[in-house]
A and B are shown apart, each in its own frame.
Chain A
Amino acid sequence: MTSPFRTAEGGRIDRATTLEFTFDGQTHTGHPGDTLASALLAAGRHQVATSIKLGPPRGIAAAWAEDPGGLVQIEEPFPEPMLLATTVELHDGLVAHGLPGQGRLAEISDSARYDAVHHHVDVLVVGAGPAGLAAALTAARSGARVALVDDQSEAGGSLLSGTDRLDGGPALEWVAAAVAELAGHPEVLHLQRTTAFGSYDDGFVLALERRTDHLGTAAPKHVSRQRVWRLRARSVVVATGAHERPVVFSDNDRPGTMLAGAARTFLHRYGVLPGRQAVVFTTNDSAYDAALDLHRAGVRVQAVVDARPAGSPRREECERAGIRVLSGAVVTGTQGVERITHARVAAFADGEVGAVSAIACDVLLVSGGWNPAVHLFSQARGRLRYDEALGAFLPAEELDGLSVTGAAAGVFDLAGCLTDGQRVARAALTALAVPPPGEDRLPTAPEPVAPAAPLVLWRVPDTSGAGGHTSFVDLQRDATVADIERAVGAGLRSIEHIKRYTTIGTAHDQGKTSGVLTSGITAELLGVPVQATGTTTFRPPYTPVAFAALAGRDRGRLFDPERVTSLHDWHVAAGAVFEDVGQWKRPRHYPRPGEDMEAAVLRECAAARTGVGLLDGSTLGKIDVQGPDAAVLLDRLYTNLMSSLKVGSVRYGVMCGVDGMVIDDGTVLRLAEDRFLLLTTTGGAAKVLDWMEEWAQTEWPDLRVHCTSVTEQWNTFPVVGPRSRDVIGAVFPQVDVANEAFPFMTWRDATLDGVPVRLARISFSGELAFEVYVNPWYGVAVWERLLEAGRPYGITPYGTETMHVLRAEKGYPIIGQDTDGTVTPHDLGMAWAVSKKKPDFVGKRSFARQANQDPLRKQLVGLLPVDRRTVLPEGSQIVELHADGQLPPPPVPMLGHVTSSYRSAELARPFALALVKGGRSRIGDTVHVPVDGTLVPVEVTGSVLVDPEGARRDG
């Protein structure tokens, strides 16, 4: 329960409040402002987990998202795998345990809310460190619309981890004033706990805001847990700082080994000492700050081991404090069991390692230099260049609308970051033609002390005898220098190949510490410049993002819109079983108690063929085509002639692509000389409207015609069967329903209690049928009138399955089920629907192509299983036996496939439709369909199996 490594004072934590949490079954305490990692370190615990492949302990190695080690599984408040202890904000009741690289998804569903917000700004600044704050202030002061996002819980960036001073006071006072000033600008959106994780085209940046995670069980339920910000900025300023990188040496994975900058963060931000006895190993001046700060905080700094032969001008400062500085020396390895006990140190000159001695320590701080966080720049396809002096990759070009500033651009001193942030913002404003602000003061920063040049050192030669097998490059993947050597030895040269061969950089941290190390070590092994090796591609997301957050509100019923007709509630009450047709919910059948689908469909089919049935066909696509040239457009797009259609009449039509293949079919009602109503398939409605508008706009802009979808404006109820005339006659007594007065393929306007209703004699079943069209507001009322009037005849509502059986018995194809984009009207036996009079229409020229004349094209035919029992599975292949009754040797030629297959009440046997090579010439033949391993003999027939003369339909 104690926190022996907590400092007596300081840090950004709320010491007045104590939080209790459980890690690996042990109870610990911490404070608001802690991360799980800082609270564990305060308790003296470095080890978080064990390695995924090799098993040794692994600990906290960094202070934020670059940590390759400290993976945890959260159990409470909600199970969540693969989070970093360094990025989990502490809250009361947190229960977590360490993970050896693999987590466990929750078995209960996530009840938290996730959402997304679109936001447009002039300038987006990513990162609220000194450069980002300076840039945001300049942009805000100009009056521009600004967003500032930062992934930490509070603004300040690197200033949170140090003791910098600005305007003569603590730098964080300036940060607080800057944040307050930004809050006063109404056009500024400032988000903390918000990670910009992807940068895309045209200033599009995705950012994840963690809104309630830090509140734990106290999180209000009505607030979304995480929010994806879809930011679109005219100008993006990337001020994302830099990641410190380690130097690779033997046994560098031992807990207690940590980046030097991370130790400063734990000290200054969280009030935590990473240990009692430290060794600091560095290649550059920045780690001297860690050594001196820890010394002042009471840590015994045993030695600063500086790989540079000339050391640092800061040596004196250390020696005055009593810290030993070993210049021209390196750490070659570590000792200890679960935690480091000694750093192994040796002289280092000209790449040669001298005699090793061990220095006792419980924490080893390492700095191999800084990698600018160029991720967002690189994701936006910015080119990088390798800087020899820094040993790091920097932006190599200016991008339109995206600039990089501060440490991300290789500027590492505070004064430089402030002026660079301001400069970049002013340039961005100028590019946007926004006048930069007149009053735009920067705080005064101390004169920077020029650092001594860093040494670029990727790895210390392995003198341990382990041959590089314990020199870890990517701790999370257990990938070592030996693995890179093996990759290079196997002939790999490309850094992308080496990444995949070794898996370096593929873990949760995506190579934040290991990526550039791998480039450097690979270049050394290949003997080429690091610039030639380059980096692997930076891809979003910068840090892991939960699928739940990406899905946002688009889950469950909101995943895809559901379309229902005005009859939906009636269908539900009637016990309909629904099927999805595109986004529509359509009743498939209406089972009575005890009926399965087969029984229900046989009953519904029999009712429609012998009495009367009623279908909700409202999902049929409907397009209102108006204008003086409406008939011209239809003549050019349908294969048959539409201009000759009389007002009051209906015609079936087929549309083809320019390749002559059927794309949709349906009926056309001529409403007036200059107005048609087109009925399309349910699934083809949007496509047909697109198709018509494309031709009207791009090829024939001279045509005076407009097309409008009216699918949702009309309910359509087919009343089907020999008694349909009685039903329509009873409901619409003013309409003469006699065949002579109201023949097949005509329509009539009627009214029902003053409500306009359109009646059409259209049949998709082959039966005598009427379609009733009405405004959906009156849909239920009209439907119920039809049912009422049909009661004496046993009127039966039927669903799509019965509709399919009825139409298939008549050989009416469903475009997209019985066709597949390679089928012409002729293949469907619909030469009658192809005009010979019209000089041209879309698709006509292709009918004359040789391939379209091939007598062996697949044609639509009927199939009757000889056993009168088997329902052929749709999609089954069709084969032909040799004369001797044997199958041809493999590969067995395929004649075609079954496209529709049902049991027929009318025929009292199953039947099918199929596309068969030269099908019409095979009528009367017997072919075979393999079903469950046996060959079922089937007779090839014409496609129309019921009432081929059409006597019922026309009667």
Chain B
Amino acid sequence: MHHTTYVRAGSTDDAVARMADGGQLLAGGMTLIPTMKQRLASPETLVDLAGCGLAGIEDEGDSIRIGAMTRHADVAGSDLVQTAVPALAALAGGIGDRQVRNRGTIGGSVANNDPSACYPAAVLGLGGTVHTNKRDIAADDFFTGMFETALDEDEMITAVSFPKTGKAAYVKFPNPASRYAMVGVFVASGADGTRLAVTGAGSDGVFRHADMEAALDASFSADSLDGIAVDADEMISDIHASGDYRAHLVREIAKRAVAAC
């Protein structure tokens, strides 16, 4: 690992100021530290967010708000999340392994927008909102491509909120070694219709599948997805799975997610 300077931010404002000076935010480090060890990242300054008071889950009536530094284990184990959005608690409980969940955070996961990460599918599938130090960003505007988001250079996530819904499910076909999604589908059926988000598969990162959503709006059943085309050319093709295989998995996993609702 290259040399770096470690600082602890005392507040969101402090963290943002240090970011403006070129610092890189450190949340759980479960992505950033392995990346630094492989020398794929070499930030001069690491700004630890642990002391910024950004962990915690709040009930906001129709929605829940999860602080950026809330760890996966705390989302999975929260009574509030288990009652208000059970599919989200289950998703968090299926991320990586126990130690990853004891340290990784929702803010780090959403900011990173790894094409195989689980949380982006929940944010997009539930139509959540990403709160930053500057503004609120709707899920549909937030994820802009593989590892790309709408965040500005000097902008950090402070919280993510999700509408309460019982009719939702996430099903993941995990890579057996890393537990990341080879394909993961989050489906939710709410007042505004069905939203279906796919992670792990798309070469532009997480995406919604409009044809599947329309078919499910017409009839919310797994059978409605039979015969719906998934374009293999838009899928990731790598050592783990070809684009064709991923395209096939997207429809099958989507059917399982609908059946699990």
A, B assembled together: no
Binding site for B on A (CB under 8 A): none
**Chain B residues close to A by CB (< 8 Å):** none
